[in-house]
C-alpha cells in the first residue's frame, strides 16, 4: 500500500526548526494596533494615527522582519469556524480558552528538545498584547468569514484537479502534483498567508522599489510609481505587482498571476491554487483554478513601530462568485533568522510516489493485494485544524 506523507516535510531541516522556534521569542509589543469594536461583528477601520519613520530617500520605512508564525500557532484560522457566526472577534470567555491552550503550548517548549521539540515561546504574550489574538478568522469579507462559492465552471475544475493531496488519485508523472508539491511555488496570494512552518517575511526597500522576501518559495520585487517593471503582460507565479503610497499606507496592485488549473495535463496551463491547504481551514487539495482575470489589492499600514496591518482583496470573477478580503497583523521580530529554503534540491519524493503508485497498481492487477484499501489521503478532505476558542 502506498503511504502518503506531506510532501513538504522533507524540508523541515534543523535550520527551519530553529527559524520556527525563533518566531515566538518576541515579547509583548508596545505598538498600538487595531482594537476590537464594541460590536464584535464590526470590522474596525485600520488605524492611521501612527507615523512611521522615513527612509533616506523619503519613503515610509517598512524595512524589517515580520514573521507570522503566531497566527497558525494560536489556531486562528483562515476561514471562520461556524461557532462564531458573523463575529469578527471572540468573546472574553472564548479568548480565555485560546489563552489556556497557548499557555500549555508555551509550557511544552523544551529548549533542549532538538528538532522534534514541541511547544512555543511567547505565544501567550502575543495573544494578550496583539488585538489579532482576539480575531475569529483571517477572512473579514464576506461577513460570514467564508470564501465565496466557486462558479460552476471553477467548481468542475476544482473537483477534476490533481495534486499530491487528492484521495483516490494515481501518480504517473509530475503533472499529477501541484506546484507546491514540486517546490515551484505556493502560488499567489497563497504565499502571503501563514503556513505550518517557515512563516518569515522580510521587507527590503530601495528608491522606487519594495521587496517582499518570503521564507518559503517566493520573492516579490515591487516597483513603485513609474519605476521600471516587467515588460508587457507576462504572467508570473507571484503575479506582476506595482505599488504606490496612499498617505502612510503602501498599496500594491497585482495582476498577471499565473493562470490555469490543476485538471489539465499541459504543463504551461497549470496554475497554483490561490489558497493553500497548509493554511489552516481552507478548501482541501490545492486544486482551485486561477483565471487570467485574477487580481489583488494589498494595503500595508504600520500601526506602531513593530506592527503592520496587512489587508488583501482577491478578485477572480471566473472562479469566485464574489471578491474576498483577508486582514492579518504582522509583528516585527528582528531576531527571526532566515535560512536557505532548499526544497527542490534532493526532492526525491515525486519519483518515489510515482514508482510506489505504479507498483501498487501492478500488485492489484496480479492479485497480490486487495483492490479496495483505505486511502490515507482521505484525511485531507476533513478539517484538521481547530480553534480552541470555538471548541465546546
Q: What local confidence, expressed as pLDDT, does residue 342 receive?
A: 81
Nearest residue to 241 via CA among 265, 256, 222: 222
CA–CA gap between residue 348 and residue 325 (Å, rounded): 37
Q: What local confidence, expressed as pLDDT, does residue 34 receive?
A: 56
Q: Per-residue pLDDT for 150 more than 70?
A: yes
Q: What local confidence, expressed as pLDDT, does residue 19 receive?
A: 38
Indicate the pTM of the whole model: 0.88
- Per-domain boundaries in the chain: 7-378
Are 295 and 255 contacting, i.e. CB atoms less than 8 angstroms apart? Answer: yes
| Per-residue pLDDT tens over the stretch 40-91 | 999 999 999 999 999 999 999 999 999 999 999 999 999 999 999 999 999 9
Q: Per-residue pLDDT for 23 more than 60?
A: no
Nearest residue to 76 via CA among 313, 392, 391, 386: 386
Q: What local confidence, expressed as pLDDT, does residue 16 receive?
A: 36
| Per-residue pLDDT tens over the stretch 196-243 | 889 999 999 999 999 999 999 889 999 999 988 877 789 999 999 999
| Per-residue pLDDT tens over the stretch 174-208 | 899 999 999 999 999 999 999 988 999 999 999 99
Nearest residue to 327 via CA among 353, 297, 306: 297
Nearest residue to 337 via CA among 219, 199, 244: 199
CA–CA gap between residue 320 and residue 279 (Å, rounded): 19
| Per-residue pLDDT tens over the stretch 154-179 | 999 999 999 999 998 999 998 999 99
Q: What local confidence, expressed as pLDDT, does residue 299 receive?
A: 98
CA–CA gap between residue 381 and residue 368 (Å, rounded): 29
| Per-residue pLDDT tens over the stretch 312-361 | 999 999 999 999 999 999 999 999 988 888 887 778 889 999 999 999 99
CB-based contacts of 48-55 (< 8 A; 24+ apart in sequence): 48/247, 48/248, 48/249, 48/301, 50/248, 50/302, 50/303, 50/304, 50/305, 51/248, 52/248, 52/302, 52/305, 55/205
Q: What local confidence, expressed as pLDDT, does residue 11 receive?
A: 32
What does the mean pLDDT of the chain come to?
Answer: 88
Q: What local confidence, expressed as pLDDT, does residue 369 receive?
A: 87
Separation in Å, CA 216 to CA 183, 232, 240, 269, 310: 9, 27, 19, 23, 18
Amino acid at each position: 500500500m502506498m503511504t502518503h506523507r506531506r510532501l513538504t516535510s522533507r524540508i523541515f531541516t534543523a535550520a527551519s526548526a530553529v527559524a520556527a522556534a525563533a518566531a515566538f521569542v518576541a515579547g509583548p509589543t508596545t505598538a498600538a494596533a487595531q482594537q476590537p469594536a464594541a460590536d464584535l461583528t464590526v470590522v474596525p477601520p485600520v488605524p492611521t494615527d501612527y507615523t512611521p519613520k522615513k527612509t533616506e530617500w523619503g519613503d515610509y520605512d517598512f524595512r524589517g522582519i515580520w514573521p507570522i508564525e503566531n497566527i497558525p500557532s494560536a489556531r486562528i484560522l483562515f476561514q471562520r469556524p461556524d461557532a462564531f457566526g458573523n463575529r469578527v472577534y471572540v468573546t472574553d470567555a472564548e479568548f480565555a480558552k485560546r489563552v489556556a491552550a497557548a499557555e500549555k503550548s508555551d509550557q511544552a517548549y523544551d529548549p533542549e528538545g532538538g528538532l522534534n521539540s514541541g511547544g512555543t515561546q511567547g505565544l501567550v504574550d502575543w495573544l494578550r498584547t496583539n488585538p489579532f489574538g482576539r480575531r475569529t478568522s483571517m477572512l473579514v469579507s464576506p461577513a460570514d468569514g467564508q470564501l465565496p462559492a466557486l462558479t460552476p465552471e471553477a467548481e468542475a475544475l476544482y473537483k477534476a484537479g490533481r495534486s499530491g493531496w487528492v484521495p483516490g488519485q494515481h501518480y504517473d508523472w509530475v503533472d499529477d502534483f501541484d506546484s507546491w508539491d514540486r517546490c515551484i511555488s505556493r502560488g499567489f496570494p497563497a504565499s502571503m498567508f501563514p503556513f505550518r512552518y517557515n512563516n518569515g517575511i522580510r521587507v527590503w526597500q530601495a528608491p522606487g522599489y519594495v521587496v517582499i522576501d518570503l521564507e518559503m518559495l517566493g520573492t516579490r520585487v515591487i516597483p513603485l510609481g513609474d519605476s521600471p517593471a516587467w515588460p508587457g503582460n507576462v504572467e508570473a507565479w507571484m503575479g506582476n505587482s506595482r505599488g504606490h503610497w496612499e498617505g502612510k499606507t503602501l498599496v500594491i496592485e497585482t495582476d498577471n498571476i499565473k493562470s490555469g488549473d490543476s485538471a489539465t495535463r499541459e504543463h504551461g496551463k497549470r496554475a497554483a491554487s490561490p489558497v493553500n491547504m497548509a493554511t489552516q481551514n481552507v478548501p482541501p487539495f490545492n486544486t482551485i483554478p486561477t483565471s487570467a482575470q485574477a487580481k489583488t489589492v494589498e494595503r500595508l499600514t504600520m500601526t506602531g513601530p513593530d506592527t503592520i496591518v496587512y489587508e488583501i482583496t482577491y478578485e477572480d470573477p471566473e472562479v469566485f462568485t464574489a471578491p474576498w478580503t483577508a486582514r492579518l497583523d504582522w509583528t516585527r521580530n528582528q531576531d527571526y533568522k532566515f535560512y536557505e529554503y532548499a526544497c527542490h534540491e534532493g526532492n526525491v519524493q515525486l519519483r518515489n510516489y510515482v514508482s510506489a503508485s505504479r507498483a501498487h497498481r501492478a500488485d492489484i492487477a496480479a492479485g497480490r493485494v486487495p483492490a479496495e484499501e483505505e486511502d490515507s489521503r482521505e484525511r485531507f478532505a476533513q478539517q484538521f485544524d481547530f480553534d480552541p476558542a470555538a471548541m465546546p
